[in-house]
Amino acid sequence: MMKKLLYLLLIFLACSQLASAQQKPQYTQYVFNNYLLNPAVAGIENYTDVKAGYRSQWTGLQGAPVTSYLTVNAPLGQNFLQGDATAFPASGGINPSSRLYTQNYMAAEPHHGIGFMVVSDQAGPINQTNIAASYAYHLGLSGNLNLAVGVSAGVNHISLNTSLITLENPLDPAISNGNNSQWKPDVSVGGWLYSSNYYIGASVQQLIPQNLYFSTNNSYNQSKTVPQYFLTGGVKVFLTDEITLLPSFLIKVIEPTPITYDLNAKFSFSDKFWFGGSYRHNDSFGVLAGVNVSSFINIGYSYDITTSALNTVSNGTHEIVIGLLLNNRYKVTCPQHLF
């Protein structure tokens, strides 16, 4: 009986959130794949970056959010691909977590970037699937500073599975005879300023507000999407020549909900592995770890400990990300421009 009550409570929270401000999924390992939040990141590395992620939020709670995604982005432009000033020689070259890399760093050649993503997010009876393609342009502002701007466009499919909802009145006018499967356009824009030891980015998702309706009765059609604003930044702090501390932050502004923020810090050991922690305001603490297995594959994992009122019924949140470095002609084992 308790599980049914909790499930109904989750459904209510999800539907009430949808009515006020339809939100994108959240990620603990956004630092491992900033392309999810900002289209300007597309093509920032000198290889084809493929990442697959899976996130199970509030495990143990029936109907809790589950998110999975696949992202692909790659650079275009012969000057960058064949002669990038920061590119490594075939042996792998300088570790980008070392001071020597920072001292020798030169801004990347102007080039284009393209990307594609599919994100599926299910919370209770509500399922969202976002499909989008992106374009970015990277320009050198100075000898060691780049600016990238990007745009992403696609569609967002939102569906309501009424079979998962048990109502006293099966013909409840709030959901009966409505459009329970909807396709809406989706546009995002962003900018990314980066050098060898810091970055700062800003983006807007769901730039085009859309009305959502699960009923033919207009009095119930109050659901809508709203623009979502993200500001993020990070810096490298060298503890030794091979050990680097990488603090970062993410601020999210989604009206009418309160402003939220994430704080992260991770230690990187050469170009082999890293671990760290995160804090999400009024929500959770997290631990993160990752390993760069080779110049072809890397893996990241995180576990969030819930600090909100849901901690009495939640077993925490698990998230795993697997990255592939395709067309990696310089055989790097960790990102050069992202960290």
- Does residue 314 lie in a domain region? yes
What whole-number distance in Å separates Cα of residue 217 and Cα of residue 186?
Answer: 25
Three-state DSSP state, 228: strand
| 201 and 232 Cβ atoms separated by less than 8 Å | yes
State the pLDDT at residue 154.
Answer: 96
- Does residue 69 lie in a domain region? yes
Domain span holding position 36? 25-161+173-326
- Does residue 17 lie in a domain region? no
- Does residue 3 lie in a domain region? no
- Count of other CB atoms within 10 angstroms of residue 131: 15
- Does residue 331 lie in a domain region? no
Q: What is the domain-level CATH number for residue 219?
A: 2.40.160.40
- Does residue 168 lie in a domain region? no
- Does residue 218 lie in a domain region? yes
Question: How many domains does one find in the chain?
Answer: 1
- Does residue 18 lie in a domain region? no
Signed CA dihedral, 325, 331, 337, 338: sign only: positive
- Count of other CB atoms within 10 angstroms of residue 132: 20
Q: Note down pLDDT in tens along the chain; length 339 residues.
A: 344 434 444 444 444 443 344 478 889 999 889 999 999 999 999 899 999 999 988 776 777 788 999 999 999 988 888 766 565 555 556 666 677 777 778 888 899 999 999 999 988 778 899 999 999 999 999 888 999 999 999 999 888 776 666 666 666 655 655 567 788 899 999 999 999 889 999 999 999 887 776 666 656 555 678 899 999 999 999 888 888 999 999 999 988 888 999 999 999 988 789 999 999 988 889 999 999 999 899 999 999 888 876 666 667 889 999 999 999 888 888 888 877
The model's pTM is: 0.84
